[in-house]
Structure 1
Amino acid sequence: MASRRTWTWPPTTTKPGFKETQGPKFSPLRSGEGENTQAHSQLENPQSRSETEETQTHSSVEHDPNGSEGEDHQSHDDEEDAGSCSQGPGPLKVESSKHETPSTGLGKLFHSLRLDTVYLFSQEIRGHSVVEEKKVAMLGDMRSACYVSLLHILPTTASIMLLVLNWKGYYIGDELQGPVGQDGLRFLGLQFAAKMLELLAMASLSTILFALIRSRLIYETLPFGAMTTGFDFNNISLLWSKEFVATCGATTFSSSRIKTLLVSTIVVFTILGATIGPSAAVASQPVLRNWLGGGTVFWLNATSQELWPSNLDGVGLPDLPCTSSQNSSCFPPNYSLLASEMLSFWPFPSSVSADGGTVARLMPEKASIAGRYSIHTLEARFIGPFIYRPYLTSATTPSAAVADALSQVARYWNNANTHQCSVGKTCFHYYNDIFYTVNALQPLTFVRCSASDINATVQFPRLDQGIGKYPLVNYSSTTIGSLQWFDAATSNGTNPGLSWVELPAADFGRASVGAAVALPGTKSKTGEDGGQIFACTIDARWANATATISFLGGPMIVSGTPTGWLGGTQYLLDSTGLPLWPQVTIAPAWAESVSSIVTDSSESVFTSLCNSLGRQGNISKAISPINAVEAILAVMITDGLARTSSLATILGSLKGLDKGEWIYEFLPKDSVFGTGGSAFNYTYQQGDQSTKFELITAVNGYGYGVTAAPLLSTLVLLIYCLIATIYVVHSICFARMTSSSWTSITELVALAANSTPSSVLKNTGAGIATLGILKQPVKISVIDNRLQMVFDDREDADEIIQDELYG
Structure 2
Amino acid sequence: MIPPRIFDVRRKQQEAEKVVINKSSRLIAWQCGVHLLPISTTIAILWINFQGFYIGVDFPGLTSSDTTVLMLLQLSAKIHEIMIVASLSQIILHIVRHELLYGDGVPLGLIGSGLSFSNFEFYFRKDFYGSLAYLCCSKKRMKRTGFVLLLIVSGITAIIAGPASAVLLVPKPQAYPAGQTDFYLNGTSGQFWPEDLSGDMPELTALCSPSVSALRDVCPAGGYSSLWQRWSGINYKDLLGNDIPTFAKDLSGSRFYWPVHSPASRVPPLYALGDPRSANESIQPYTWLVQAHAASSILLEQVTKDWWKAVLASMDVVPSQVDDRSIRASALSAFAAVRCTGPQNLSTESKSMYFPAVERRWDWGENLEFDVGGVLNASSSSNLRFRWVQLPDRFGTVSSGAIVELPWVKHGDSRIVVGCSAQTGWVPTTLRTDSYTFWSGWYPYGIFFGERSPRWTPPSADQVLSPTNGRIAIGDIWLDMLTPPAPPVPGMNISWPASTIEAILASAGAGSLSENQDHAIQTEEWEKEDRATGGGRRRLLEAIISSVLADGLSRSGSHRVFTMPENESDNAIAMYQPRHDFNQQILRGRSALEVPAGDASTYTVLRSSMQLSGYAFRASLPKYLATTVLLAHAVLASFHMLWLIIRRRVSRSWDSIAELLALAQNSHPPDKALQNTGGGISHLRTYATIANIRIRSRPENSDRGHVELIFEEPVGQAGENILPNNEIEPVVLEDLHEMLGESSGAQTSMQSSWTFPVDSRKAQLNQTINLHGHSESTDNLIPRRRAKIEEASLVRIGIAYS
Following the alignment from structure 1 to structure 2, what is the Cα–Cα distance between the partners of residues 532 and 177?
65
- Residue equivalent to 1:433: 324
What is the aligned counterpart of 1:654 among 567, 577, 583? 577
Which among 9, 16, 20 is matched to residue 133 of structure 1? 16
The one-letter code matched in structure 2 to 1:627 is R
Q: Which residue of 2 aligns with 1:23?
A: none
CA pair 668-719 structure 1, distance change in 2 beyond 3 A? farther
Name the aligned partner's letter for residue 142 of structure 1. Answer: S
The alignment partner of 1:760 has SS state of coil
> What amino acid sits opposite 2:54 in the alignment?
Y
Normalising to structure 1: TM-score of the pair?
A: 0.71
Residue 517 of structure 1 aligns with an amino acid whose one-letter code is: V
1:629-644 matches, cutoff 5 A: 629-644=541-556
Letter in 2 for 1:667: Q
Tell me the distance in 1 between the aligned counterparts of 2:213 and 2:395.
39
- Alpha-carbon distance in structure 1 between the residues aligned to 2:616 and 2:214: 52
Deviations, residues 489-540 of structure 1 (Å, cap 9, x unaligned): x954641433322341xx444443333434457878789xx62433x33222
* Alignment correspondent of 1:721: 634
Deviation at 1:302, TM superposition (A): 1.3
Whether 1:553 aligns to 2:447 is no
Identity in percent: 22
Contact map agreement 1:433 1:699 (CA 8 A) in 2: yes
- Counterpart of 1:689, as a letter, is T
Structure 1 unaligned segments of length 5 or more: list them.
1-117, 351-361, 656-660
Kindly state the Cα deviation for residue 214 of structure 1 after the two structures are TM-superposed: 1.5
Q: Shift of the alpha carbon at 1:471?
A: 2.6
Alignment of 1:50-449 (within 5 A): 123-124=6-7, 131-179=14-62, 181-219=64-102, 220-249=104-133, 250-315=135-200, 318=205, 319-323=208-212, 326=215, 334-342=223-231, 344-348=233-237, 365-370=257-262, 372-383=266-277, 392-420=286-314, 430-449=321-340
Q: 1:124 is paired with a residue of what secondary structure? A: coil
* 1:226-266 Cα distance to aligned partner (Å, 9 max, x none): 22322332234544544443444422445233123202211
Q: Does the aligned pair in 1 maintain the 2:257–2:271 contact within 8 Å? A: no
Tell me, in whole angstroms, the C-alpha distance in 1 between the residues paired with 2:542 and 2:221.
24
- 1:743 aligned residue (651, 655, 672): 655
After TM superposition, list the pairs within 5 Å mapping 1:489-508 onto structure 2: 491-492=380-381, 494-504=383-393, 507-508=394-395
State the 1:281 CA deviation. Answer: 0.6
**Equivalent residue of 2:602, what SS?**
coil
Q: Which residue of 1 aligns with 2:246?
A: none
Alpha carbons of structure 1 residues 392 and 188: separation in structure 2 relative to 1, 3 Å? farther
Whether the 8 Å contact between 2:344 and 2:418 is mirrored in structure 1 is yes
Alpha-carbon RMSD across the aligned residues, in angstroms, is: 4.0
**TM-superposition CA deviations, 1:355-396 (whole Å, max 9, x none):** xxxxxxx9863132325342222223222579xx86641111
Note the C-alpha offset of 1:197: 0.8
C-alpha contact 1:434 1:697 (8 A) present in aligned 2: yes
CA deviation after TM superposition for structure 1 residue 608, in Å: 1.5
Cα 1:683/1:131, change in 2 over 3 Å:
farther
Alignment of 1:501-580 (within 5 A): 501-504=390-393, 507-520=394-407, 531-534=416-419, 536-549=420-433, 553-555=437-439, 557-563=441-447
Give the drift of 1:176.
1.9
Q: Which residue of 1 is the match for residue 589 of structure 2? A: 675
Match for residue 598 of structure 1 among 481, 486, 489:
486
Question: Alpha carbons of 1:526 and 1:325: their partners in 2 closer, same or farther (altered >3 Å)?
Answer: closer
Task: Give, in whole Å, the separation in 1 of the partners of 2:109 and 2:588.
Answer: 52
User: Which residue does the alignment assign to 1:806?
Assistant: 801
Question: 1:208 is aligned with what amino acid?
Answer: I
Q: CA deviation at 1:205?
A: 0.6
CA displacement, residues 594-630 of structure 1 (integer Å, 9 cap, x when unaligned): 2232336421222122112269866968852111111
Following the alignment from structure 2 to structure 1, what is the Cα–Cα distance between the partners of residues 194 and 429? 16
Cα-to-partner distance string for 1:753-803 (whole Å, 9 max, x where unaligned): 333144223344444444322233222223453412323234333322333
1:665 to 573, 582, 592: 582
Q: CA deviation at 1:313?
A: 0.9
Number of aligned residue pairs: 649
Deviation readout 1:331-350 (Å, 9 max, x if unpaired): 88522322322563334389
- How far does residue 189 in structure 1 lie from its aligned partner after superposition? 0.6
TM-fit CA distance, 1:712: 2.2
How far off is 1:203 after superposition?
0.9
Partner of 1:711: 624
By how many angstroms is 1:445 displaced? Answer: 1.7
Q: Deviations over 1:519-567 (max 9, x none)?
A: 457878789xx62433x332222112222246972436222234355xx
2:628 counterpart of 1:685: no
Matched residue type, 1:472: E
Instruction: Give the CA deviation at 1:437.
Output: 2.3
SS at match of 1:647: helix
Report what 1:458 is aligned to: 354
The match for 2:505 is 610
Q: Deviations over 1:659-705 (max 9, x none)?
A: xx53x224347xxx63132333x434336522122332222233322
Deviation at 1:409, TM superposition (A): 2.4
- State whether residues 549 and 559 of structure 1, in contact with CA within 8 Å, keep that contact through their aligned partners in structure 2: yes
